[in-house]
Amino acid sequence: MTRWAMVADLRRCVGCQTCTAACKHANATPPGVQWRRVLDIEVGEFPDVQRAFVPMGCQHCDEPACVAVCPTTATRKRTDGIVTIDYDLCIGCTYCVVACPYQARFKTPLGQFAYGDQPTENEAFREDEARREVATKCTFCVERIDSGLDKGLKPGVHPEATPACVNACIAEALAFGDIEDPDSNVSQLLARNQHFRINEEAGTGPGFFYLWDRKRDAT
Ligand code: SF4
Ligand code: SF4
């Protein structure tokens, strides 16, 4: 069984927000809707403090709080771990927006574009009208994954089958792959490095892992 997951190496991320821009470009999300964010935080206690940049988005949880509250079954989880939204079934009630412990969901406004009420060339090409006035979030670029798999490509290895943010990262801080495959890039990264997941206590089993330090016995 496959379980797609994302890994962010917090030792490498420089907070440039290229992934944020790549997501905006790839998905033509409207103003105020950020499927990818990069938080700028301070960790430690003075004088031993450090700045860290934390890429955030939908965590494609094992037990998604958004699925449990959706009254129309618009939000579902696939067997490969990707949490999807059927825009035709979504009634825009925003229960899921409130329930998500990661603030990953946004209700999209009606017909707003980056520079007013007319789409840019990219928005006209990529914007999906079905996505207006409904709940939206990071999809792990599921269309790229599915079409890549159909072509025999490997998500996380071949760019055409990999989420846009991972391809765009200037620091190779982001990785994507199958954590059920012990030889995958993400499994190898998790095996060699200390890692954590955000809001683990919420019990949602996030599919987004953060590397923070090297394991002492790693080679
Ligand atoms: S991060 Fe939020 S929107 Fe994404 S699967 Fe988990 S609960 Fe749902
Ligand atoms: S593109 Fe890479 S380095 Fe830049 S903010 Fe995103 S994750 Fe960090």
Lowest mean pLDDT among 9-18, 118-127, 181-190: 118-127
Protein residue whose Cα sits closest to atom 1 of ligand 2: 169
Q: What is the pLDDT of residue 12?
A: 97
By CB neighbour count within 10 A (0-12 exposed, 13-18 middle, 19+ buried), where does 69 fall? middle
54 has which bridge partners?
A: 39
Lowest mean pLDDT among 57-61, 84-88, 96-100, 200-204: 200-204
Is residue 13 within 8 A of residue 38, CB to CB? The reply is yes
The 10s digit of each residue's pLDDT in 103-119 is 999 999 888 898 888 99
Q: Please work out whether the CB of residue 15 comes within 6 Å of at least one atom of ligand 2.
A: yes
Q: Please work out whether the CB of residue 60 comes within 6 Å of at least one atom of ligand 1.
A: yes
State in Å: Cα 70 to ligand 2 middle: 32
Protein residue whose Cα sits closest to atom 5 of ligand 1: 60
Which one-letter amino acid corresponds to residue 75?
T
The answer to pTM > 0.85 is yes
Asked whether the predicted pLDDT for residue 218 surpasses 90, the reply is no
Higher pLDDT pick, 165 / 114: 165
Give the mean model confidence (pLDDT) for residues 69-73.
98
Ligand nearest to the CA of 15: 2
d(CA 205, CA 194): 17
Asked whether the predicted pLDDT for residue 131 surpasses 80, the reply is yes
Asked whether the predicted pLDDT for residue 155 surpasses 80, the reply is yes
Give the mean model confidence (pLDDT) for residues 71-80.
98
Q: What is the pLDDT of residue 90?
A: 98
Give the mean model confidence (pLDDT) for residues 209-214.
89
Helix boundaries (H) for the chain: 18-27, 65-69, 95-99, 121-126, 142-150, 164-168, 185-192
State in Å: Cα 175 to ligand 2 middle: 11
Instruction: Write down the mean pLDDT value for the chain.
Output: 95
Residue with tokens 């950020």: 34
The 10s digit of each residue's pLDDT in 187-210 is 999 999 999 999 999 999 999 999
Q: Please work out whether the CB of residue 105 comes within 6 Å of at least one atom of ligand 1.
A: yes
Helix (H) or strand (E) holding 42: strand 37-45
- Site to probe by mutation for ligand 2, drawn from 9, 11, 17 as the one with most ligand atoms within 8 Å of Cβ, is 17
Q: Please work out whether the CB of residue 16 comes within 6 Å of at least one atom of ligand 2.
A: yes
Neighbours of 207 (CB within 10 A): 24
Give the mean model confidence (pLDDT) for residues 40-53.
92
Between the CA of residue 167 and those of 1, 76, 110, 141, what are the distances in Å?
Answer: 25, 26, 30, 11
Q: What is the pLDDT of residue 215?
A: 65
Asked whether the predicted pLDDT for residue 217 surpasses 90, the reply is no
Q: What is the pLDDT of residue 110?
A: 84
Q: Please work out whether the CB of residue 64 comes within 6 Å of at least one atom of ligand 1.
A: yes
Is residue 137 within 8 A of residue 77, CB to CB? The reply is no
Q: Please work out whether the CB of residue 39 comes within 6 Å of at least one atom of ligand 2.
A: no
For the chain, the first-to-last Cα distance in angstroms comes to 28
Between the CA of residue 189 and those of 62, 95, 96, 132, 194, what are the distances in Å?
Answer: 20, 35, 31, 37, 9
Residue with tokens 């939206």: 136
